[in-house]
Structure 1
Amino acid sequence: MRLSVRLILALGLPGMIAACAGPMATRDSAPVEVGIIGINDFHGSLEPPRQAVNVSDGKGGVIPVPAGGAAWLASAIDSVRAGHPQSLTVSAGDMISASQLASSLYLDEPSIGVMNRIGVDFNAVGNHEFDRGQNELLRMQNGGCEKLTPKQPCAIEPFTGATFRYLSASTVKADGSTLFPATGLRTFGKGKRAVTIGVIGLTLKGTPNLVVPSGIAGLTFADEADTINAAVPKLKAQGADAIIVLIHEGGRTKGEPDPQGCTDFAGDIRPILDRLDTRVDVVVSGHTHWSYVCDYGKLNPAKPFLLTSAGVYGELVTDITLKIDPVSGRVVSKAAKNVIVQSVPYTSSRGPLANTPLFPQFQPRADIAQYVAKYVDASKAYTQRPIGKIDRAAPKNEGAEGGAGGPLGNLLADAQLGATRQAGAQIAFMNPFGIRAPLVPAADGTLTFGDIYLNQPFGNNVVTATMTGAQIKATLEEGLDDTGPKQVLAPSAGFAFAYDPARPSGDRIVSITLDGQPLGMGQTYRVTVNGFLALGGDGFSGFVGMPDAVTGPTDIDALESWIKAVPVRVVPQEVRAGVVPKA
């Protein structure tokens, strides 16, 4: 027997209505799950970058896992996406520039093409997005073949621009508007089950210290926390149930490598996070090339959001799960994990690196692999050209040692000194954070142009100018002070310095010598650095405005010339910058 609702009411049977309505009400009010798939700092890594994600083995050692490559990244994102019927794919900046040659030669058009095919929804503008200037960045969004740089656009095929949306909430033009939209919204579900995700995207305030000034002329970069806090109520007013921040700023953890951990988290992003509106739910970060997953509420109970970073070069993907109450319009639970994009084995500077069964190995997605191959094949004339030989592999310092150049930093400083002797250069310095990859020669020691390009992808000209000994000391101190991450400049042959990290900030240099003699504080010297440092990059303000400046060749041309100048270039192994031994 069927009873209509009207008859039930007439008979006075409200309990029967409750019994009928209960399951529907429960279904309507149950949390709605949305996946957020996060990446950052892709840097045009079309091919596997020949780097590993280091994971603790739980026994005091490290398991290196070969990872990365656009086609493998696509498969990993597809795998994560398969676990979320409703998802949003986001990037926290530096998607392009400082890229592999197959992307850089073609103005990073193929990297945009890869991300279009992967299905990215939003990308925050990072500092490297401005490397070729704001007009070229606008072309990345809008497409077209207008020639805005020395390189020819659309060299392989027409370029239609990004199908995803760049966001630049803190990048402000002279008229007060932002270069790209500040925020975005995405709604999932229908009716009472609909939930809306609000996204804020921005770069770090310090971007002007990291790019060529002409590329950002007329732009200002606002305070990160103020920008985010101003955007949150606007998104809430537009119906956002969850707030996701994509910020190109980050931090680092300490201890054994742990892409899922947050041990002793520190960095320039922390003061920003501690000021954020409590309605922020997730912060996807980048810039430091470090991987972590932080329940930030454990660091600051007043700020109970998730903080994540997927490292660099597409080696990881962050899988974030949000459960949202559609009735109250708030996030009721959130969780995240980093997925290693295990790809193919390779030979590192320390020898062969095989796959491990401890983590899934992804297969390359066929359409992405085919698309990338078109650009890789076109670039082979550049990448496969032999340029000389070195006597051994030159590893890139990683992890806790990443702030020191080591033998590879010494080699690069020597190359820049050698290229600028005619300008009177006596000393050269290389910034370790500007070293992008190890130099791994073939079995006979041969390096190709592709090998050195991976190491120096910026195309910076080197600059030689005059500094006093006191100015040199003060500039070296900047790399050792308590502002930002520590970075020990790698010096050229004949120059050495020792420092004591226990001494007060600004007074940590203990000794400096040139050719075995103490550096004269009042004496002048001719010093060579790359153009990035000459503009104050990485916070080294002491190089800005050096007098009698002479611009030399590009850093990569200097390295090629140095290696090919002798039959086999010896990688210098001596310690030129070191900590004073404890008594």
Structure 2
Amino acid sequence: MPARAPHRSRRPLAAAAVVVATAGALAAAALPGSASAHERHGGHHHPHAPSRYQDVQLLSFNDLHGNLEPPAGSSGRVTETQPDGTTKTIDAGGVEYLATHLRQARKGNPYSITAAGGDMVGASPLISGLFHDEPTIEALNKLDLDVTSVGNHEFDEGATELARLQNGGCHPTDGCYTDKRFKGADFPYLAANVLKEKTGKPLLKPYWVWKKNGVKVGFIGVTLEGTPDIVSAEGVKGLKFKDEVETINKYAKELQHQGVKSIVALIHEGGFPASASYNYDCDSPGAGDGISGPIVDIAKHVSPSVDALVTGHTHNAYVCSIDDPAGHPRMVTSAASFGRLYTDTTLTYDRKTGDIARTSVKSANRVVTRDVPKAPDMTRLITKWNALAAPIGDKAIGYISGDIGNTGTESPLGDLIADAQLAHGKTLDPGTDLALMNPGGIRAPLTYAAKAGEGDGVVTYAEAFTVQPFANTVNLQDFTGAQLVQALKEQVSGPNEAAPKVLQVSGGLTYTLDLTKSGADRVVAASVKLDGAPIDPAATYRVATNSFLAGGGDGFTTLGQGTNDLVGDDDLAALEQYLTANSSAGDPIAPPAADRITVLR
């Protein structure tokens, strides 16, 4: 796709934008040989001669996951640390507000690029997921997104569907949803490390170059190498996922050979800051000291020719300086998830060298607050797709007496979903003993407050869809007791040791998780019991899981070794059936106590 002219006409906003001199611009002015601020920002001395240093604004976000409407509950809030050390939460997100914030941020910045770090679609709420994420692509087009990397969720429906999102056309099974043909993304999806097995060639473009008035910035996009471990086998069929660092370094060299010296990597892999506050200083006490996780090792090995890393996947917020292999600090950013934040980075471009003056790079995460005017074009888009979704989405399927959250080692919603899958399993085979649910498959909380006029405590199909949007089936398999205990140990060992994935368990299954220990020893094997009786290593247990876990997903290889398979309904249908059967307006479901796993810290 040819580079689009980045300076596009935009509908003026009612709210006046405040133009602030960026720290990057001030730092650039102090560089040896730099032009004065007056010259660099269009002074009258040489109106046709560009100055040596040019500030380029990079606006970025990641992990939108089709959240067009403001996310509900904790999924729609960010935490901010105050000057006195206390914290407060701020309601955030929604593309009507994101569009306004981005448009206001661009004012006064003719050299502005908007980029994203993957997972724009997939695991989406009903308004997008019901229509195979066409609404989100339309919204991203209106947001003037310039470029994005793929994430793992872009492969939820396979490579053919990803190509349709890029190139357009009606869905091969569901057809066209409106009288207009879906035109696809008018920005490039980059997938440098995703290769077709048959040809060894990249599935999509590996990189893209933004150009304006002689300024050139290259973007390389990769997703995490471990994508096949967290996506269904069908979604990655026929594809190979290569090492992130090797791939970025390969294409950084290629870009340099083409004369592109300013390079940004869009990486769908991330880290874990020591604080959940979006404005946490992860460079304290030293550069990058406050962040851990896969992105740290990647950042330390990506070629110094790459000037900044826009990351994602972990849904965390951070702006960090991590030293490159040459020992020079380099900006690494992530804007949480669901459109609650965006990152505003100033890249100072040196026209003489064609490179970024790295010492002047400044970056900060900004909150997508809901106290700004809604973007009218986004409101119209949401209204259009909500009208199409309403006949399905507005149906009441259950009732709750309070918020049922999805956070914590064991969450109330995790217990509820596991119970629902056990109940569904028993309709298929009355001998089903227990159910296990992966925490990453639970995408949002169930909130008590009415969301769209349906009434407090009412759970609609749309709300349940937002919680479980993957269309996984509920599968029954036989495991020995020894295999069951081994599966529990895989929560905190192997690929899950650094970032445990604690399975949510159905009622009757209890055990102790001792976080003072390390690796597999954190699961106290002797404590694993079913209905009060110790698990018998030699006995056979009938276990319900979703199809993702039944395929060994999320590093649970043992759960991929079950026998006597039986496939039931999809997991959303199981939840709907459970809510309908076990709640009413007069007798709602109370939030489960989340007391099945005893956690020692």
**TM-score above 0.5:** yes
Query: 5 Å matches for 1:380-391?
Result: 380-391=390-401
Matched, 1:553 2:569: yes
Find the counterpart in structure 2 of residue 412 from structure 1.
417
Given residue 590 of structure 2, which amino acid in structure 1 is its aligned partner? V
The alpha carbon displacement at 1:60 in A equals 5.2
Contact 2:249 2:302 in 1 (8 A): yes
SS at match of 2:544: strand
Q: 1:555 to 1:219 in 2, by over 3 A?
A: same
Find the counterpart in structure 1 of residue 557 from structure 2.
541
Matched, 1:90 2:95: no
Given residue 434 of structure 2, which amino acid in structure 1 is its aligned partner? I
| From 530, 539, 542, the counterpart of 1:523 | 539
SS at match of 1:277: coil
Matched, 1:35 2:57: yes
CA distance in 2, matches of 1:156, 1:550: 41
Given residue 45 of structure 1, which amino acid in structure 2 is its aligned partner? N
Q: 1:230 to 1:522 in 2, by over 3 A?
A: same
Contact 1:105 1:379 in 2 (8 A): yes
Q: 1:54 to 1:547 in 2, by over 3 A?
A: same
The alpha carbon displacement at 1:30 in A equals 3.0
The alpha carbon displacement at 1:26 in A equals 13
| From 377, 385, 392, the counterpart of 2:387 | 377
Contact 1:106 1:155 in 2 (8 A): no
Matched, 1:240 2:256: no
Find the counterpart in structure 2 of residue 177 from structure 1.
201
Find the counterpart in structure 2 of residue 19 from structure 1.
none
Find the counterpart in structure 1 of residue 182 from structure 2.
159
SS at match of 2:510: strand
Given residue 444 of structure 2, which amino acid in structure 1 is its aligned partner? A
CA distance in 2, matches of 1:266, 1:41: 19
Query: 5 Å matches for 1:304-453?
Result: 304-332=329-357, 333-343=360-370, 361-397=371-407, 401=408, 404-421=409-426, 422-423=428-429, 424-441=431-448, 442=450, 445-453=457-465
Which structure 1 segments of 5+ residues have no match?
1-22, 344-360
| From 150, 168, 176, the counterpart of 1:143 | 168
Identity percentage over the alignment?
Answer: 37
Q: More displaced, 478-487 or 72-81? A: 478-487
Contact 1:405 1:430 in 2 (8 A): no
Matched, 1:467 2:479: yes
The alpha carbon displacement at 1:394 in A equals 0.5
Find the counterpart in structure 1 of residue 106 from structure 2.
81
Contact 1:36 1:321 in 2 (8 A): yes
The alpha carbon displacement at 1:484 in A equals 4.0
The alpha carbon displacement at 1:331 in A equals 1.3
Q: 1:577 to 1:440 in 2, by over 3 A?
A: same
Deviations 1:419-459 (A, max 9, x none): 00132321111222221111113465321111211211111
Root-mean-square deviation (CA, aligned residues, Å) is: 2.0
CA distance in 1, matches of 2:87, 2:236: 41
The alpha carbon displacement at 1:172 in A equals 0.5
Contact 1:274 1:303 in 2 (8 A): no
Q: What is the TM-score of this pair, normalised by structure 2?
A: 0.85
The alpha carbon displacement at 1:77 in A equals 1.0
Q: 1:273 to 1:80 in 2, by over 3 A?
A: same
CA distance in 1, matches of 2:339, 2:239: 29
Which structure 2 segments of 5+ residues have no match?
1-44, 283-288
The alpha carbon displacement at 1:124 in A equals 0.6
SS at match of 2:291: coil
The alpha carbon displacement at 1:546 in A equals 1.3
Given residue 124 of structure 1, which amino acid in structure 2 is its aligned partner? S
Find the counterpart in structure 1 of residue 599 from structure 2.
579
Find the counterpart in structure 2 of residue 267 from structure 1.
293
Matched, 1:289 2:315: yes
CA distance in 1, matches of 2:328, 2:553: 32
The alpha carbon displacement at 1:266 in A equals 1.0
Given residue 205 of structure 2, which amino acid in structure 1 is its aligned partner? P
CA distance in 2, matches of 1:104, 1:258: 28
Query: 5 Å matches for 1:431-510?
Result: 431-441=438-448, 442=450, 445-481=457-493, 483-510=497-524
Answer with 1 or 2: which has the greater Rg.
1
Q: 1:434 to 1:112 in 2, by over 3 A?
A: same
Deviations 1:359-406 (A, max 9, x none): xx3221111211221001211112211112123220221xxx3xx232
Q: What is the TM-score of this pair, normalised by structure 1?
A: 0.87
SS at match of 2:435: strand
CA distance in 2, matches of 1:500, 1:175: 47
Q: 1:499 to 1:42 in 2, by over 3 A?
A: same
SS at match of 2:298: helix
CA distance in 2, matches of 1:59, 1:414: 43
Find the counterpart in structure 2 of residue 211 from structure 1.
231
